[in-house]
Copies of this chain bind each other. A is one copy, B any other.
Amino acid sequence: MKVELISIGDELLIGQTVNTNASWIGEQLAERGLLVHLSTTIRDVENDIIQSIDAGIKRSDVVIITGGLGPTKDDITKKTLCKYFESEQELNREVLERVEFFFESREKEMLEVNVQQAYLPKKALVLNNLVGTASGMWFEKDGKVVISLPGVPYEMKDILLREGFPMLLEKFSVKELYSKTIYLQVIGEAFLADRLAELENQLAAKEVKLAYLPSTGMLRLRFNGKKSDEVVFEIKKSIELIKKEIPVHFYAEYNISLSEVLGKELVHQKKTLATIESCTGGAIAKEIVRIPGSSAYFQGSVVSYNEVVKQNLVHVNEDTIIEYGVVSEEVVKEMAEKGKELLNVDYCVSTTGVAGPDSDGINKVGLIWIGIATNKRTFAKRFHFGNDRERNIQSAVLTALNMLRCELFEIKT
């Protein structure tokens, strides 16, 4: 069974609005075992709309259209659908009453253009809009279904969740999909692809697809296959295998951030945390504080961007800086240790390095030391990220949080 999406609206094509409707519908359908095979964004132009619907009906079983149902002049989807399906419009009294009530309850005046929204094509089933004034429509032709929905996200979602999806699932009985995504902290996807090559071949033999979805410092791995006991077993087994093989990188099997994983564990262990940041400039603290409830474990941070601040506020010995240089294992460890005392915490994370784009004259751009002081030990690691300042900072943030995660969960690195 093939589903395709058509999003109507100039604002989507010229980038004034990001098309989150298409991704939401795609995700919701995938969860129901229905895969979108094509998604098209077109202008508010009659000819383009007609061509797209016609092509859609020929190649897909279901065509879901969003946009162009508002009361203004540039909204021509309903009129165009009537033309394509050769259907007249008639006043739908039930819809009119709802639109009238919509305006009454908001103490707003109802205009003639709003009355027009209660005129609907005779050949369509009405999909009721309980949160707005533009009704959804369900057309059928040669066993194919065309659904038209308003582009306002919460109206579109409400109509699909309440009426559209259940009706689709009833009309087409399809084989369900099984999909799982795991979350890894990792710099560079290639080394992982290499490491998982064998597993990937095994999965391919069972018709399970593996997708790599990278972002800076992160990688999501998605498993996808037609639902069967065998496929579910294979996917679960593979995830267990990866978990065991690379526990240093694997941090979640559902959608949760690294800072949230840490937060939960710190609360669980009743431990506290602080950061002393140089090259990351508060970015680790920011990522920790982003999580609601972080005040339970996060005490604070000193951003010792300047060398003098490192000495005066964090009390790093001037001698250490002179002897080893400010970007060094010795300094980053002393930062973590002194920070742990200063902020009176169980764990203190520290950073020092060259974020770029210019070198400090001594060290290469992208060279960053990360240190951790705990109640048991102090240690540090050296990393070499890339040339882009913001990506280096983001990579250092996620790498530092991941080092702390390994320490908290006692994972050997």
Contacts and interface: CB of A to CB of B under 8 A. Distances in A.
Nearest to A153: B215
Secondary structure type dominating chain A contacts: mixed
A131 to B, nearest CB: 7
Interface string A305-332: 1101100010000000000000000000
Nearest to A220: B16
Given A11-B213, A13-B35, A282 B301 contact: yes
A389 interface: yes
What is the copy number of this chain in the assembly?
2
Contact of A18 (B19, B114, B191, B308): B19
28 contacts: A10-B224, A11-B211, A11-B213, A13-B35, A13-B39, A15-B25, A37-B48, A38-B48, A72-B189, A72-B212, A106-B385, A131-B387, A154-B388, A281-B290, A282-B303, A283-B289, A285-B303, A286-B286, A289-B305, A290-B390, A292-B357, A295-B305, A300-B305, A300-B306, A302-B302, A302-B303, A313-B342, A313-B343
Contact of A295 (B22, B222, B306): B306
Interface string A61-77: 00000000011111000
B193 A113 contact: yes
Interface string A32-74: 0001111111110000100000000000000000000011111
A36 B23 contact: no
B39 A40 contact: yes
> Among the interface residues A11, A15, A111, A280, which one has the most CB atoms of the partner chain B within 10 A?
A15
A393 interface: yes
A200 interface: yes
B300 A388 contact: no
A28 B15 CA distance: 8
A188 interface: yes
Question: Which 7 pairs, one residue from A and one from B, show the smallest C-beta to C-beta distance?
Answer: A281-B289, A15-B27, A282-B282, A282-B285, A15-B26, A301-B303, A15-B23
A87 interface: no
Nearest to A307: B295
A362 interface: no
Nearest to A200: B73
A145 B400 CA distance: 45
Contact of A189 (B70, B131, B385): B70
Nearest to A365: B105
A88 interface: no
Contacts of A355: 289
Interface residues of A, number: 110
B292 A285 contact: no
A329 to B, nearest CB: 16
A123 interface: no
Given A288-B281, A385-B106, A16 B313 contact: no
Contacts of A289: 280-283, 303, 305, 355, 393
A309 B299 contact: yes
B292 A281 contact: no
Given A13-B38, A17-B23, A313-B343, 5 more contacts: A10-B209, A12-B39, A16-B181, A105-B364, A277-B282
A224 B74 CA distance: 13
A213 B384 contact: no
B48 A30 contact: no
> Among the interface residues A24, A41, A214, A358, which one has the most CB atoms of the partner chain B within 10 A?
A41
Interface string A153-191: 010000000000000000000000001010000001111
